[in-house]
Chain A
Amino acid sequence: MRVSLGSVARFMGTRLLSSAIVLFGVVVVVFALIQLVPGDPVRLALGTRFDQEAYDALRAASGLDRPLVEQFFSYLGGVLTGDLGVSFRNGQPVVEILLSRLPATVSLAIPGLLIALLIAVPAGIWSALHEGKVSDGIVRVASQAGVSIPDFWLGLLLISLFAVRLGWLPSSGYVPIATDPAQWLRQVVLPATTVGIVAGAIMTRYIRAAVLEVAHAGFVRTAVSKGLAPGRVTFAHIVRNALVPVLTITGIQLATILGGVIVVEVVFAWPGLGRLVYDAVAARDYPVIQGAVLLIAMIFLAVNLVVDALYALVDPRIRLA
């Protein structure tokens, strides 16, 4: 099979262009949505002791007194130059705030996804290849349980067992990996396991379904009847062809975790993007909410682009489509 770099480049070019259009749409929607959210942030910042003069001053300072169109174009201009405004709460630049939260989220997402893959790839393939057997039933029940368990409850269960009862691991908190790798590892185990179990359960079901679909395909039956060794059929024919849906679900899970797992971050007091969004919504900190949603959209688009590129490498039919 010959991979033509030209066709891959063309394929990625169109994908990049459509991502840029989607991103512009996201900016428009994010800006519009915020205007429709009930509740006046300026009013909230002043609290119960209210006076019109202070209100007008703060409103002008935040630029909220200008016409909507003007606000939009100045926002769009800011986005293009990497300026997402400043937080209503403390005047810190939004870009700075987002960047300060990204490392925590990434350092939870990667181990979380690894745990999910370690669970899902063997369990999904095994259960598909043993369809209908007892081991398949066990995997299906376990993955159903994993999908159904609220991550909130799972996190608290792990905390009460491993932190309170056994005292093996810290109950919550975060240290950057660069500051103290050993402590980071101790602290990441429980939240990453929570993320990994939930994401792993979802991925197990997808991988099982994908492998099953390929295993029932005509070319596999042909390969088996040709007398190929079962191991060769499994890996060269089934798993390779099941890779595309597996890539898709892995990409979606990675983007979801990178976008901040709000519940897990709140339960483990993990200072990532999810908690930032949670706090910003509570405080109606519009610029931070806008910036975070934009960043999460960019993460989704970027992960999708990478997944698209991998598709094109894995499956030549896609780049020609």
Chain B
Amino acid sequence: MKRTAIAGIAGLAAALLLSGCGASGTPSAQADPNATLVAAIGGEPDKLDPQSTTSYFAFEVLENVFDTLVEPDQNLDMQPALAESWTVSDDQLTWTFTLRQGVKFQDGSDFTSADVVYSYRRIIDEKLANAWRLSAITDISAPDASTVVITVGQPTPNLLSSLGGFKGMAIVSKANVDSKKINTAPVGTGPFSVAEYVSGDHITLDANPSYWGGAPKVAKVEFRFISESATALAALRSGDVQWTDVVPTQQVSTLQSDSSVTLGLAPSNDYWYLALNEARKPWSDVRVRQAIAYAIDRDAIVQAVSYGTAVKNQLAIPKTSKWYTEYAPFSTDLEKAKALMAEAGYTGGKLDLLATKDYPQTVTAAEIIAANLKPLGIEVSIRKPDFSTWLDDEGKGNFDMFMLGWLGNIDPDDFYYAQHHSKGVNNFQKFSNAEVDTLLDAGRVETDPAKRKDLYAQAAKIIADEVSYAYLYNPAVIQVWSPSLQDYTTRSDRAIRFRTAYLTK
């Protein structure tokens, strides 16, 4: 039922897009090469160093300024970017990348293999936030100016998605880092360069005419920081901005019927889930966890947190991904839940549910979950600390249950290993299953994609059956833009790419 509603919205968005494309063929809709594309984003980046920021606002801007060695296409398959091609040795331990010739940084200096080595070494040696993505790497070298050799300790089939799936792995310029200007005036190799940064107000990018992928079709992109969605939508409707993602989910149905704007809706790769503390009784008993998974009303949660724009999912990976596995073992069934509780000899009691005001959806969902578990005799008390306290409590195992999401994953290893391997760094729920460990370890080194997909499908099913996580939904990426903006698509990885976009006159 809810799923059809999503299909309807997505279908309509597609129809709007198609009609937009149709219009671009008419002579009145020519690209304006001198145009400035103004985009409203929800806040100011904390800093513009792609390797050390963790702010999505920063990545919205930096997606257009920096490049990675490889990069995800619309289907999130890795394509050449700064690396033109690559080969893997027979033992799968040596990756040799051939770099694109003639690429320059926006300050005019040449891009070479030394920049790649420097960038990755910086992430690893300075233990920057994304160092874990490079944990498989044992050595990086540059035998000549256009070749980079990466050695890994074990076969690493997801190396490309680790190197390119995320702009935090961008290739930076040593001179820019050394000058300490990278946080406010970063220099990349991407389609746009940072021209002006007015703190609190906006960042303006200039088109990079010598971009290796072809010059952009607008002269400038201005990112304005507008945290209030009513203001952002008013700015869009009055023509002051041409694109925004500061859109509350409850506005989607209104925007859908508004012919003066184009709505872009894509299921994201993010997922939200519940986890029960398996180091504590009675949650250590799989039957009690399953009882909770049966008691939860996922439809009600999706409706409440997203006005029906999210998609229910009982595994982590969304339908749009090539790694998707269809599996939905739980339905809302109180009788089954009660039977499982009786079998486990648990008659109910208190449950400490950790939510956080910083992610309001966890609070909304927590209230529904509390109501869902009441008939089972489980008295839920909801705690709503700020996120840093939340993280502390999660790390110390100070919870019975928590709800949170994981964002921006591409490879199945990102989705499952750290969270469900008994030695996983983010396995705060203390799930431990020897078979899952074996499957996840095998998936890490399996180079045959079909076999690899099968390994993760097996692991994911056990993870869901044993309720290491009770998966809830994949939220939608919601963006809206003026019909004058053409050749722009909403991506499921939330990357905002304006490199080919243009504005009609």
Give the interface of A toward B (CB within 8 A): 38-41, 43-51, 53-54, 57, 89-92, 97, 100-101, 104, 156, 159-160, 163-164, 167, 170-174, 266-269, 271-272, 275-276, 278-279, 283-284
A residues within 8 A CB of B183?
90-92
Determine if B224 is an interface residue (Cβ-Cβ < 8 Å): yes
Query: Which residues of chain A come closer than 8 Å to B130, judged between CB atoms?
Result: 49
Q: Are B200 and A275 in contact (CB under 8 A)?
A: yes
Closest to B404 in A: A48
Least CB distance from A266 to B in Å reads: 5
Given A46-B129, A156-B231, also A271-B54 (CB < 8 A): no
**Besides the contacts A44-B391, A172-B235, what 8 more A-B pairs have beta carbons closer than 8 Å?**
A40-B392, A47-B129, A49-B130, A91-B47, A91-B183, A101-B199, A104-B201, A275-B200
Complex: A54 Cα to B198 Cα, angstroms: 30
Cβ-defined contact, B228 with A267, below 8 A = yes
Give Cα distance in the complex from A47 to B46, angstroms. Answer: 14
Known: A39-B386, A43-B388. A49 touches B240 (CB 8 A): no
Contacts of B228 in A (CB 8 A): 266-267, 269
| Ranked 5 nearest A-B pairs via Cβ | A271-B200, A90-B47, A39-B388, A89-B46, A44-B388
Contacts A40-B388, A171-B231, A269-B231 given; does A100 touch B238 at CB 8 Å: no
Do residues B224 and A173 form an inter-chain contact, with CB atoms below 8 A? Answer: yes
Contact pattern, B 380-394, Cβ under 8 Å of A = 1, otherwise 0: 000001111101100
The chain B residue with its CB closest to the CB of A167 is B238
A39 touches B227 (CB 8 A): no
Chain B interface residue count, CB cutoff 8 Å, equals 41
| Docked CA distance A91–B180 (Å) | 10
Q: Are A279 and B43 in contact (CB under 8 A)?
A: yes
Interface residues of B in 187-239 (CB under 8 A from A): 198-202, 224-228, 230-231, 234-235, 237-239
Contact A156 B388, beta carbon cutoff 8 Å: no
**Smallest distance from the beta carbon of B324 to chain A beta carbons, Å?**
24
Given the complex, which residues of B lie within 8 Å of A271, measured CB to CB? 198-201, 225
Least CB distance from B206 to A in Å reads: 18
Bound CA–CA A315/B130 (angstroms) = 65
7 contacts between A and B (CB under 8 A): A40-B388, A40-B389, A90-B184, A156-B231, A156-B234, A271-B200, A278-B227
Q: Give the chain A neighbours of B386 by CB distance below 8 A.
A: 38-39, 284
Across the interface, do A269 and B226 meet the contact criterion of CB distance under 8 Å? yes
Residues from 165 to 200 in B contacting A, C-beta threshold 8 Å: 183-184, 198-200
Q: Which of B365-422 contact A (CB under 8 A)?
A: 385-389, 391-392, 395, 404, 406
- Min Cβ gap B129→A in Å is 6
B44 contacts A by Cβ under 8 Å: yes
Nearest-CB residue, chain B, relative to A53 = B127
Whether B44 pairs with A268 at a CB distance below 8 angstroms is no
Determine the main DSSP class of B at the interface with A: loop
Q: Quick one: which of A40, A49, A275 has the most chain B CB within 10 A?
A: A49
| B327 part of interface (Cβ distance < 8 Å) | no
A159 cross-chain contacts in B, Cβ below 8 A: 230-231, 234
A163–B238 contact, CB under 8 A? yes
- Distance A41 CA – B389 CA, assembled complex (angstroms): 10
Q: Tell me the minimal C-beta distance from B45 to chain A in angstroms.
A: 8
B200 with A45: CB separation less than 8 A: no
Nearest to B392 among chain A residues (CB) is A43
Decide if B450 is an interface residue (CB 8 Å cutoff).
no
- Kindly state the separation between the CA atoms of A38 and B234 in the bound complex, as whole angstroms: 36
Find the A residue at minimum CB distance from B227: A266
Contacts of A90 in B (CB 8 A): 46-47, 183-184
Bound together, the chains give a CA A48 to CA B183 distance in angstroms of 22
Residues on B with C-beta less than 8 A from A57 are: 127
B303 at the interface (CB under 8 A from A): no
CB neighbours of A171 from chain B (8 A): 231, 234-235, 238, 240
Q: Chain A contacts of B406 at CB under 8 A?
A: 48
Please name all residues of chain A whose beta carbon is closer than 8 Å to the beta carbon of B43 when the two chains form the complex. 279
Q: Does B332 belong to the interface (CB within 8 Å)?
A: no
B129 to A49, Cβ gap below 8 A? yes
Q: Does B425 contact A (CB under 8 A)?
A: yes
Cα distance A170–B183 when bound, in Å? 30
CA distance A271 to B200 in the complex (A): 5
Give the distance to chain B from A101, nearest Cβ to Cβ, in Å. 6
Provide the residues of chain B in CB contact with A163, threshold 8 Å.
Answer: 234-235, 238, 240
Q: Who on chain B is nearest to A45 by CB?
A: B54
**CA–CA, A167 to B239, complex, Å?**
9
- Check A38 against B54 for contact (C-beta < 8 Å): no
A51 touches which one: B127, B201, B385, B387 (CB < 8 A)? B127
For residue B270, give the distance in angstroms from its CB to the closest CB of chain A. 13
Shortest Cβ distance from A162 into B: residue? B238
Within the assembled complex, what's the spacing in Å between the Cα atoms of A284 and B43? 15
Q: Are B54 and A267 in contact (CB-based, < 8 A)?
A: no
Taken together as a complex, chains A and B put the C-alpha atoms of A45 and B52 apart, in Å, by: 10
B200, B234, B404 — which one has the most chain A CB atoms within 10 A of its CB?
Answer: B200
B235: A residues at CB distance < 8 A:
163, 171-173
Bound Cα distance from A271 to B238, whole angstroms? 20
**Chain B residues within 8 Å of A40, by CB:** 388-389, 392
Contact between A267 and B231 (Cβ–Cβ < 8 Å)? Answer: yes
Interchain nearest-CB distance for B172 vs A (Å): 16
Q: Which of B184, B200, B231, B239 contacts A101 (CB 8 A)?
A: B200
Taking a contact as CB atoms closer than 8 A, the residue among A100, A104, A272, A283 that contacts B46 in the complex is A283
Docked CA distance A43–B389 (Å): 8
Q: Given the complex, which residues of A lie within 8 Å of B389, measured CB to CB?
A: 38-40
CB-CB under 8 A from A283, the residues of chain B are: 46
Q: Could you tell me the distance in whole angstroms from the C-beta of A157 to the nearest C-beta in chain B?
A: 10
Closest to A37 in B: B386
Query: Please, how many angstroms separate the alpha-carbon atoms of A53 and B374 in the complex?
Result: 42
CA–CA, A47 and B52, complex, Å: 12
Chain B residues whose CB sits within 8 angstroms of the CB of A49 once the complex forms:
129-130, 132, 425-426
With a CB–CB cut-off of 8 A, which chain B residues contact A51? Answer: 127, 425
Chain A: CB-nearest residue to B133: A49
Which residues in A have their C-beta under 8 angstroms from that of B44? 279
- Decide: A50 and B391 in contact? CB cutoff 8 A: yes
Query: Do B391 and A48 have beta carbons less than 8 Å apart?
Result: yes
Partner of B224, one of A48, A156, A269: A269
Residues of the B chain whose Cβ atoms lie less than 8 Å from the Cβ of A104: 200-201
